[in-house]
Structure formats: structure tokens, C-alpha cells
Amino acid sequence: MKVIVYSNDINFIDRYSKLLNDYTYEIFDNYDKLYIEAKKRNIIIIMNIEECLDDYSDFYTPLVEEFSYLMILDPTPNYEKGKNLISLGVRAYGNSMMDDVHMKDAINSVIDGNIWLYPEFINETVSRMVYEVNPNTIDHKLDILTSREKEVAKLVIKKLTYSEISNQLDITTRTVKAHTKSIYEKFEVSNRLAFLLLFNS
């Protein structure tokens, strides 16, 4: 799938064009030309939120309606903006200064048909989430995990943060992240929100 960087900011273009050498990509600085390209085929469009119109829906909706996958980068991402963008059909939302490895992960997630959100957005969504877990089914569902992964998974299900899990199990946050990565892979989910939704009764 073709990736397009839409921007008039030379620093933004320079940062992402170097990162995109592994992909087929182009750079656009004209919205009308971008829209014409979006009408031709499915594309991923990476853009800086600061270069968009004040009314996001007028700017994004025509592109989304043409089945383009929008990745919006923001120097100051926040939950409310992210929630609004996702409701408009944006496929990825994150910090414009994210590490290259996370940016590639975001692009690959979108190519695979998924939505990608920055970790703090997922954590905020989890903290606001109201859900019920059936305690009778948890142990059975967790049978595919090692005993330590089960301990970590049960604390994730209780909506503890990685730091809280680290403190409770007396392990490093890095170890918690390694366990959760393995847990998510075994359950074929990409993040803690998707994992939690598996246990919502």
C-alpha cells in the first residue's frame, strides 16, 4: 500500500521521508492533488494535525470516504482529540515525535487493517472503561499462559498500570512489558484494550 506524507513543513517532510525508505511513498503539499490521489486507490496518508483545517471533519471526511487510511500526528496528543479523530475514521493517532520503531509499528498496523493509538490513549481508554469480568471464566481463558504470565494477565484485567503491576509482583516495568507482549501475542491482540475486551462479559 502506498504511503503519502502530506505537509508543507520541510522539517516534518524530512523526518518522515527518511523513515519511509522501506515503503512506497510520495510527498504531497496540495490538498486537491491529495484528494485526487485518494480517489485512485487506497493509500495511507500521514499528516500533521497542525496543518489541517480547524474543522477536522471537513478536512478528513472526504479522504476517509475515499477509503484512505489517515495517520494523524500531533505534537501534543490528548485523549479528547484522539477520540474525535477516531470517530471520524482516522486509523492512527500519535505523537509527532514518536520513535521511528513506533512509527513503523503504526504504519504496519494500519496496513494490516488495524487502528493504532499511542499508549497513553489506550491507558486513558482503559481507565475510563466500564466493564464486568466473569471471574469463573478467567482461569480457563488464561490456560494458554505460563504461571507468571497468568499473574500479570490477572492484574492487567484488574486495570492496573504496568508500574503498579511491577510494584505488586516485584519485577521491573520492562519485565512486565515483556510479559504483556507475550500475552497479547498468545491472544492475538495488539494492545491492552483489545485484551481487556476479550474478558468483558
CATH number at residue 165: 1.10.10.10
H or E element that contains 102: helix 100-111
Dist. CA 68–CA 132, nearest whole Å: 35
pLDDT value, residue 134: 74
146 pLDDT more than 90: yes
Residue 190 has pLDDT above 70, yes or no: yes
Is residue 18 located within the same domain as residue 66?
A: yes
With 70 as the cut, is the pLDDT of residue 53 above it? no
**Quick one: 26 and 67 in the same domain?**
yes
pLDDT confidence tier of residue 153, bands split at 50, 70 and 90 = very high
Give the pLDDT of residue 15.
85
Domain count of the fold of the chain:
2
For residues 113 and 91, what is the distance between their CA atoms, to the nearest angstrom? 9
pTM of the model: 0.73
How many whole angstroms separate alpha carbon 5 and alpha carbon 22?
A: 14
Q: How confident is the model at residue 201 (pLDDT cuts 50, 70, 90)?
A: low
Local structure of residue 92 (DSSP, 8 states): E
The residue segments making up the domain with residue 114 are 2-124
